[in-house]
Amino acid sequence: MRAGRFIFVLVAGLALLAIAGYFGLTQTTRSWFERDLELRSTLAVASARQGLMANWGAASTRLSETLTDITRDERIMAAAACSSTGELLASTDAYPTQFSCRSVLERMQEESPGSPTWSMTPELPSGPIHLSVTRLDGAGDPLGAIVLVHDLSFVSRREATTRNLLTLAFFVMALAASLFTLLAVRFAWRGWTSDLQRALTGAAPREFQPLVRDVRELAKRLAMEHEREAWGGLWSPDRLRATLTQHLQGERVVILANREPYIHEKRPDGVAVLHPASGLVTALEPVMRACSGVWVAHGSGTADRETVDEHDRVRVPPGEESYSVRRVWLSEEEENGYYYGFANEGLWPLCHVAHTRPVFRSEDYEHYVRVNQKFADAVCQEVDSDDPIVMVQDYHFALAPNMIRSRLPRATIISFWHIPWPNAERIGICPWREELLSGLLGSSIVGFHTQQHCNNFLDSVDAFMESRIDRESNAVVQGARRTLVRPYPISIEWPVHWLDGAPSVSEARAGVRAELGLAKDALLGVGIDRLDYTKGIEERLSAVDTLLARHPDLRGKFSFVQLAAPSRTKIPMYRELNERVEALASEINAKWSQGSYRPIILLRSHHEPAAVFRYYRAADLCYVSSLHDGMNLVAKEFVAARDDERGVLVLSQFTGAARDLTEALIVNPYDLRQASDALAAALDMPVEEQRERMRSMRRLVSEFNVYRWAGKMLADAAELRRKERLVGRFSSSAVLSRRGIA
């Protein structure tokens, strides 16, 4: 079809060329012929001049004979002799009578006065003729003129021959060109097709690589759109479940994370179930409810041992029991070395730019190795096939992926690093950097929140490991093993189940203000964090201080409530932070309190998610001021909580969330003036603007929810699994055929 169109254009072009060539050629040859005839006429008259002069005044018969002699030339049809006054003196028989001497000489005088010769090419019914006039002078006096008539029909005949030849040439050329084109297209097409086929199956020649990338992107987009349509837009637990079963033929996943989603705690009145303050748990618990399977975690609650079965498992969530938590027990020594020591005094400050020096003790690292092995063994006990899907979470388990891989070589291991990955120079200060990298490279996929963290990881591998970095597909290749390194910005469930039956925004506003002893119309800001030095809590409180100093009208009206869950309090750094935050809150309160008014309300205790969501809904603004944060899900939770489309998010530029939630007021938390300006702007923001910003952020969080986060990783893992299976099939059939078996 396409070749047909091309040939049509080619033939039309050739036809146009042939027509233009024909007209150009006839014009030129005709002018050559005419000039030729003029020359012949002049020569004929010149050679007969003597006879003509001699017979000019004589009897017309003698002159006629001379004219007849001239017409013996085969091309000269007729001749006439005219007197200078325009009378016909003599002519041959064939002379066309319509061209009288007078009329011819008059036209010559008009068109070419004073010229010795003149010609014209009129058309007669018998065909075209050439009529030339040559003046004849005798001893200085004009005698008259000789008119010669040439037959031009031979020119027409030649033109017809030229036309026929050109038409024939055109047809031959058109045929040949079409044939060659078809052959060339066929050969080129065959080449392109096989190149393209090779390209799409992985061996793309260099020049095809951009095209292949585009085709793959398009295919991915189309598949996504198709899936989106099939599932009515948003990612949901059902869609995630379907991704798991359709793409991975898996029924369940095994998650490995240090923190357990449900902690059983002894209370005077029995056992309480707590939901820990952890972004990791916030994100993964809904995924686990959707997928089912086992969550392997440290049993850290005081009543945890009493609530497990003989396999150390407990079914959760209470009342729903859709998946299991497998608890791993740690001695105090192990917990101190692995969790408090290497993970939280070493890796945590190493990965966060928060100006706390990492502490690396080899005893801690030894515990870290042993505990990673302990958890890896527990994972291997929980799997139900030799190619399970295992999702390893966070910096507590950098070594576990390789340990699992050595026992389950066919497992699909997805590791997700919930905190930033620093640059290669910084990771280089860790005495066990190679071990950490090698441990993580046991994974099929290593995920981070941002592309920047992926780049840092790849640079670190490049700097410290023997491997090949495939920058094209963001993968690390070690022998036959390939680890994809991809950004998967984490998120929260949508809709948030904690909002089911939650008080309305106006109830929450009134209730929280009453509880905190604030006026009904008090302006309220909220901060929700674990008490951690990376969260910038001191900078946050100082920004409130600066706000009140610069805006006296807000004193007595604006309060900031900080919910701070105590965290890692065994570590001196954290204990000192507790004290510093407490002291700073008191100092600011002492400065600005009036009567019962306190600008800072510090609630240093664990709050269950339902209570946290009540605060989000009661607040006029939420300030997330992390000094460095992989993502920060508090920012996304605040957005999810505000179904009234009100409230303003003030967000640190050093969080991963700032890349997604661009409609927040983005600040540098170290810049107290800028942060206080943002707080003031938030308190003063017109309702319409609040709505517009909130609506846009809600759209983003709802679409890019945690089901999508997990779904994307599972889909990539499925793709990898499919490729590995194909490569495996190819290499085993190659081995068999080399051995002459297949």
CA 381, chain centre distance (Å) = 41
Query: What residues does 327 pair with on adjacent strands?
Result: 297
Residue with tokens 């409230």: 647
Angle between helices 2-47 and 153-200 (to 10 degrees): 160
Alpha-carbon distance of 250 to 387, in angstroms, equals 9
In the numeric block, which tokens belong to residue 654? 């050093």
Q: Which amino acid is at 579?
A: E
Residue nearest to ligand F6P (CB): 280
The reply to whether omega before 495 is within 30° of 0 (cis) is yes
Residue with tokens 């005419």: 34
Residue with tokens 């590791």: 415
Alpha-carbon distance of 653 to 667, in angstroms, equals 6
Residue (530 or 540) nearer to ligand F6P, CB: 530
Residue 568 CB, shortest distance to ligand F6P, in Å, is 6
Residue (491 or 567) nearer to ligand F6P, CB: 567
Residue (120 or 354) nearer to ligand F6P, CB: 354
Query: What residues does 135 pair with on adjacent strands?
Result: 145
Helix (H) or strand (E) holding 304: helix 304-307
Residue with tokens 């479940």: 241
Residue (449 or 708) nearer to ligand F6P, CB: 449
Alpha-carbon distance of 558 to 530, in angstroms, equals 23
Binding site for ligand F6P (CB under 6 A): 258-259, 278-280, 394, 418-419, 530, 567-568, 630
Residue (316 or 648) nearer to ligand F6P, CB: 316
Residue with tokens 């075209």: 128
Four-point Cα dihedral 158, 160, 161, 164, nearest 10: 160
Residue 582 CB, shortest distance to ligand F6P, in Å, is 20
CA 274, chain centre distance (Å) = 42
Residue (284 or 508) nearer to ligand F6P, CB: 284
Residue 394 CB, shortest distance to ligand F6P, in Å, is 5
Residue (619 or 634) nearer to ligand F6P, CB: 634
Residue 276 CB, shortest distance to ligand F6P, in Å, is 6
Residue 419 CB, shortest distance to ligand F6P, in Å, is 5
Residue (of 665, 675, 668, 664) closest to 654 by Cα position: 668
Residue (38 or 394) nearer to ligand F6P, CB: 394
Torsions phi, psi for 484 (to 5 deg): -80, 145
Q: Which amino acid is at 285?
A: E
Residue (130 or 418) nearer to ligand F6P, CB: 418
Per-residue 3-state assignment (H helix, E strand, C coil) for 44-84: HHHHCHHHHHHHCCCCHHHHHHHHHHHCCCCCEEEEEEEEC
Residue (467 or 655) nearer to ligand F6P, CB: 655
Residue 481 CB, shortest distance to ligand F6P, in Å, is 27
Residue (289 or 568) nearer to ligand F6P, CB: 568
For residues 698 and 639, is the Cβ–Cβ distance under 8 A? yes
CA angle 305, 308, 313 (to 5 degrees): 125
- Residue 297, classed as helix, strand or coil, is strand
Residue (394 or 539) nearer to ligand F6P, CB: 394
Alpha-carbon distance of 91 to 88, in angstroms, equals 7
CA 613, chain centre distance (Å) = 36
